[in-house]
Amino acid sequence: MGRLSQRRKVRKFVLESEHPVRDKEDVLAVEEPLEIRLGNLSYSVTMRTPGDDFDLVAGFLVSEGVVWEAGQIVAERFCGGEDAEGRQTFNVVQAQLRPDVVMPETGRNVYTSSSCGICGTDSIESVRRSGHHSPADDGVRLLPELVAGLPARLREAQALFEKTGGVHAAGLFRVDDGGTSAELLCLREDVGRHNAVDKVVGWALRSELLPLRGTVLQVSGRASFELVQKAAMAGIPALAAVSAPSSLAVELAEEAGVTLVGFSRGTGFNVYAGHERLLA
């Protein structure tokens, strides 16, 4: 997997065993900064697992409301970014936007960590932006057994997690008309849960699939406000998480018309918003 993971020597302690201390190699998920440039504007820096960086940048720009269709990004390229030995780090991506796209006046005022997708915005209200793809009128219907089975399907496809145990995942599923089966369209992994979602949304944008009608976004971890916001901006009608949502995530899901599922762990789940999409 190249730069996605790296090996490190560790000292392992196993108490009450025949060999309580031993040295071994462990595999870690890589975390590195990525600077996102819009033309000559340094727009943001995020901590991420390298890989699918063009998808990450495209999805991030959808989440920010800068773009909403594939043709608005003319080109993406790696630029600058060298280590102490002069080797290309591939940690700077420059996106060239179509001339009619309104450029942000300034960049984000702080970097985005791998645990926070909206740090640096002026206020919560600035994130409650009107998207170009509303999921509210999406007529997708979901069989409860289908929703309950998505976490296992997500876990089965997590190759990097299998090696490291240290990354989040987001999987995009296309639901059939009857709501009884779903096809995995795209899965992305990253140390940041919001990055994993941005990579999925960016893949969809670059594949000219937005808005993502008739889909479910299954994520590992909790359902935070920024994940609901990213789903809504991409027109995703349903977001399911294996852990709990936050109160603000539920509030935004209700406002945006997103079905929000939490504690989805194979045998059941809670629906916090949009329960009418579930087939009783």
Greater model confidence, 108 or 139: 139
Average pLDDT over residues 118-126: 48
Q: If you write DSSP's letter for every residue of 84-110 in order, what string do you get?
A: TTS-B---EEEEEEPTTSPPPSS--SS
Rounded distance, CA 188 to CA 51, Å? 9
Q: Is-above-0.85 flag for pTM?
A: yes
pLDDT in tens, 137-163: 999 999 999 999 999 999 999 999 999
Query: Quick one: pLDDT at residue 110?
Result: 47
Half-sphere exposure of 159 (CA within 13 A, CB side): 5
Query: Quick one: pLDDT at residue 120?
Result: 42
Residue 280's pLDDT band, with cuts at 50, 70 and 90, is confident
Q: Count H helices and E strands in the chain, helices first.
A: 6, 12
Residue 18's pLDDT band, with cuts at 50, 70 and 90, is confident
Rounded distance, CA 237 to CA 217, Å? 8
Instruction: Bin 19: left if φ > 0, else alpha if -120 < ψ < 50, else beta.
Output: beta
Q: Give the end-to-end CA distance of the chain in Å, rounded to a whole number.
A: 43
Q: Let me know if 186 is a catalytic residue.
A: no
Greater model confidence, 262 or 165: 262
Tokens at residue 66, please?
């800068």
Does the pLDDT of residue 238 top 50, yes or no?
A: yes
* Strands ordered across the beta sheet of 73-78: 41-48, 32-38, 92-97, 73-78
Query: Quick one: pLDDT at residue 130?
Result: 62
Residue 113's pLDDT band, with cuts at 50, 70 and 90, is low
pLDDT in tens, 39-74: 999 999 999 999 999 999 999 999 999 999 999 999
The architecture of the domain spanning 32-127 is Roll (3.10)
Does the pLDDT of residue 122 top 80, yes or no?
A: no
CA angle, 63 as apex, 61 and 68 as ends, to 5°?
Answer: 65
Does the pLDDT of residue 182 top 80, yes or no?
A: yes
Please, what is the average pLDDT of the chain? 89
Does the pLDDT of residue 1 top 60, yes or no?
A: no
Q: For 144-277, give the CATH class.
A: alpha beta
Residue 131's pLDDT band, with cuts at 50, 70 and 90, is confident
- Find the helix packing angle between 53-63 and 225-233, rounded to 10°: 90
Per-residue exposure over 252-261, b if at least 16 CB sit within 10 Å of its own CB, e if not? bbeebbbbbb
H helices of the chain, in order, are: 53-63, 144-156, 159-164, 193-206, 225-233, 247-256
Does the pLDDT of residue 2 top 60, yes or no?
A: no
Residue 206's pLDDT band, with cuts at 50, 70 and 90, is very high
* Residue among 79, 116, 119, 186 flagged as catalytic: 116
Half-sphere exposure of 24 (CA within 13 A, CB side): 10
pLDDT in tens, 208-220: 999 999 999 999 9
Does the pLDDT of residue 239 top 60, yes or no?
A: yes
Query: Quick one: pLDDT at residue 124?
Result: 46
pLDDT more than 90, % of the chain: 75
pLDDT more than 70, % of the chain: 88
Segments of the chain assigned to CATH 3.40.140.10 = 144-277
Q: Which of 177, 176, 154, 180 has its CA nearest to residue 167?
A: 154
